[in-house]
């Protein structure tokens, strides 16, 4: 241990000396293993938190160094576990972050002035942050992947919860839905296809790059700002129609035929193939729905709702026959909350058009037809809903809120595993906190030796 301390001190001295040769005086605040934490790192992260208005609970010059020290411990474990990340996804996230900064601060020059970094340096810095966060998340998932919670574990956990720790559950509802897509005139579809053929010709003739056209015209908000690039994906993560065409592309200079999916019409360009994954860019156009077509669809669904109220057939029977919502058509129209995995929704978790309608309904009631924006496909559809349940606000209990309490139990078990690992890691790792940085009360014990 004495030799290790001498070695670590030498590393910190050399790091400071090298920085000094570049006319930059780097103050080492902490040393974790053989990794220094510089004052400049702390200041940069503090500046970012201030910009993002992220609260720091406590003295930032105590909280932030401890956070960075914990990151270094997890990243060391990531190196041991050979954890890798998908670089294309990191690049997309960085692009989105830079665009967000420019939009909110004003110009690239103002962004550079605020962060005191050039845009390329800022991109590299943010990419390192995101890459590190992804690797740490994977390490944590590996630590807790074998945790199994039984019903008896949940019951025991609930009985031991202090009264003031039992969560309050807001009003929740259970909803069934039927949606139909308004008929789109053939002329509108032909116009969309003609525009896509024009874009394809411009790319093939070398007039304009595919990525430029995607940025200008694609109606996929998730990829347009990235030149239409969607990152490496396997077949299972792509629409079947899209995947069938994309995986048959071999020449990055060519453009696919027009492909129809539930989202609209696409043309696709290959970027790169890696085994069973593929990276492509695409341009998506959606045929526009006319108000008259929406009105006709509403009249049709209102007629269906009237017949249900008259008892001619059930909501469930109609769902399997006429609903065009792929997510609910074969589950009797029952909506599932993707945040919780249950059929219960707080009002704020529903699409706003559905929440507005359901708020005035009683259980068992079927709504009139209304127009809503399909949140997944970003297009207007016509819907009717049935309110199947309304659960008043209450304190959580095992009978009504088993899944909520189970989630709490699992989270507590995960946190315990990670905290125990961290406690041992701190104990087994060389740590040095410089004098000017040691007057702190830390969240975790064992830093001060």
CB–CB of 280/366 below 8 Å? no
The string of pLDDT tens digits covering residues 77-103 is: 999 999 988 887 788 788 778 878 887
The whole-number pLDDT of residue 31 equals 95
Helical (H) or strand (E) element with 346: strand 345-346
Q: How confident is the model at residue 13 (pLDDT cuts 50, 70, 90)?
A: very low
Q: State which of 242, 259, 285 marks the end of a domain.
A: 285
Q: Other CB atoms closer than 10 Å to residue 246's CB: what's the count? A: 24
Q: How confident is the model at residue 370 (pLDDT cuts 50, 70, 90)?
A: very high
Residues 235, 351: one domain?
A: no
Residues 191, 178: one domain?
A: no
Q: Is residue 152 over pLDDT 90?
A: yes
Query: Is residue 347, in this structure, part of any structural domain at all?
Result: yes
CB–CB of 69/431 below 8 Å? yes
Q: How confident is the model at residue 437 (pLDDT cuts 50, 70, 90)?
A: very high
The whole-number pLDDT of residue 53 equals 86
Q: State which of 261, 285, 309 marks the end of a domain.
A: 285
Nearby residues of 355 by Cβ (< 8 Å), 6 or more positions away: 347, 348
Residue 312, token pair as written in the block: 């001619």
Q: Is residue 35 over pLDDT 50?
A: yes
Residues 99, 173: one domain?
A: no
Average pLDDT of the chain is 89
The whole-number pLDDT of residue 8 equals 40
Residue 359, token pair as written in the block: 């708020």
DSSP category for residue 439: -
The whole-number pLDDT of residue 174 equals 97
Tell me what the mean pLDDT of segment 216-233 comes to.
87
Query: Is residue 133, in this structure, part of any structural domain at all?
Result: no
Q: Which of 21-25, 178-182, 220-224, 328-332 has the lowest mean pLDDT?
A: 21-25
Residues 279, 234: one domain?
A: yes
Q: Enumerate the β-bridge partners of residue 431.
A: 32
CATH number of the domain that 339 lies in? Answer: 3.10.50.40
The string of pLDDT tens digits covering residues 292-318 is: 999 999 999 999 999 999 999 999 999
Q: Is residue 419 over pLDDT 90?
A: yes
Q: Which of 11-25, 223-237, 307-321 has the lowest mean pLDDT?
A: 11-25
Comparing 408 with 8, the larger pLDDT belongs to: 408
Q: State which of 252, 285, 318 marks the end of a domain.
A: 285
Residues 10, 107: one domain?
A: yes
pTM, 2 dp: 0.67
Residues 20, 118: one domain?
A: yes
What's CA 185's distance to the chain center, in Å? 35
The string of pLDDT tens digits covering residues 322-362 is: 999 888 988 999 999 988 888 999 999 999 999 999 999 99
Residues 79, 92: one domain?
A: yes
The whole-number pLDDT of residue 25 equals 60
Query: Is residue 405, in this structure, part of any structural domain at all?
Result: no
The whole-number pLDDT of residue 9 equals 39
The string of pLDDT tens digits covering residues 99-135 is: 788 878 888 898 888 888 899 999 898 999 899 999 9
Tell me what the mean pLDDT of segment 63-69 comes to.
96
Percentage of the chain modeled with pLDDT above 70: 94
d(CA 383, CA 394): 30
Residue 373, token pair as written in the block: 């924006």
Residues 277, 300: one domain?
A: no
The string of pLDDT tens digits covering residues 153-212 is: 999 999 999 999 999 999 999 999 999 999 888 999 999 999 999 999 999 999 999 999
Q: Into how many domains does the chain fold?
A: 3
Q: How confident is the model at residue 19 (pLDDT cuts 50, 70, 90)?
A: very low
Q: Which domain holds residue 20?
A: 2-127+428-437
Nearby residues of 164 by Cβ (< 8 Å), 6 or more positions away: none
Residues 272, 309: one domain?
A: no
């Amino acid at each position: 241990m004495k030799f290790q301390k001498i070695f670590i001190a030498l590393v910190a001295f050399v790091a400071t000396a090298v920085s000094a040769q570049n006319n930059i005086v780097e103050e080492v605040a902490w040393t974790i293993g053989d990794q220094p934490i510089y004052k400049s790192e702390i200041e940069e992260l503090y500046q970012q938190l201030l910009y993002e208005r992220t609260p720091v609970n406590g003295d930032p010059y105590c909280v932030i160094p401890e956070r960075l020290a914990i990151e270094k411990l997890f990243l060391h474990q990531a190196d041991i576990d050979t954890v890798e990340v998908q670089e294309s996804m990191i690049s997309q996230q960085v692009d989105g972050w830079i665009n967000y900064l420019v939009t909110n601060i004003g110009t690239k020059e103002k962004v550079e002035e605020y962060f005191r970094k050039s845009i390329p340096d800022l991109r590299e810095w943010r990419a390192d942050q995101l890459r590190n966060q992804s690797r740490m998340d994977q390490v944590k998932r590996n630590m807790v992947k074998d945790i199994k919670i039984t019903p008896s574990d949940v019951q025991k956990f609930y009985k031991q919860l202090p009264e003031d720790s039992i969560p309050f559950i807001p009003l929740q509802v259970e909803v069934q839905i039927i949606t139909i897509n308004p008929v789109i005139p053939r002329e509108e579809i032909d116009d969309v296809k003609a525009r896509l053929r024009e874009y394809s010709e411009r790319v093939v003739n070398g007039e304009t790059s595919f990525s430029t056209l995607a940025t200008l015209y694609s109606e996929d908000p998730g990829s347009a700002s990235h030149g239409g690039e969607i990152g490496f994906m396997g077949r299972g993560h792509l629409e079947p129609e899209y995947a069938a065409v994309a995986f048959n592309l071999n020449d990055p200079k060519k453009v696919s035929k027009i492909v129809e999916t539930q989202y609209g019409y696409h043309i696709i360009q290959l970027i790169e193939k890696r085994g069973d994954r593929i990276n492509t860019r695409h341009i998506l156009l959606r045929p526009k729905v006319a108000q008259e077509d929406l009105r006709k669809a509403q009249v049709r669904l209102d007629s269906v709702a009237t017949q249900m109220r008259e008892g001619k057939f059930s909501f469930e029977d109609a769902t399997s026959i006429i609903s065009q919502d792929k997510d609910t058509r074969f589950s009797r129209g029952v909506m599932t909350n993707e945040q919780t995995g249950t059929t219960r929704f707080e009002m704020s978790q529903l699409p706003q058009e559905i929440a507005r309608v359901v708020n005035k309904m009683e259980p068992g009631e079927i709504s009139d037809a209304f127009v809503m924006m399909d949140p997944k496909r970003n297009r207007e559809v016509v819907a009717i809903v049935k309110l199947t349940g309304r659960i008043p606000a209450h304190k959580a209990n095992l009978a009504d809120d088993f899944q909520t309490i189970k989630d709490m139990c699992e989270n507590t078990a995960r946190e315990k595993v990670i905290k125990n690992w961290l406690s041992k890691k701190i104990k087994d790792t060389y740590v040095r906190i410089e004098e000017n940085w040691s007057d702190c009360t830390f969240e975790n014990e064992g830093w001060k030796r």
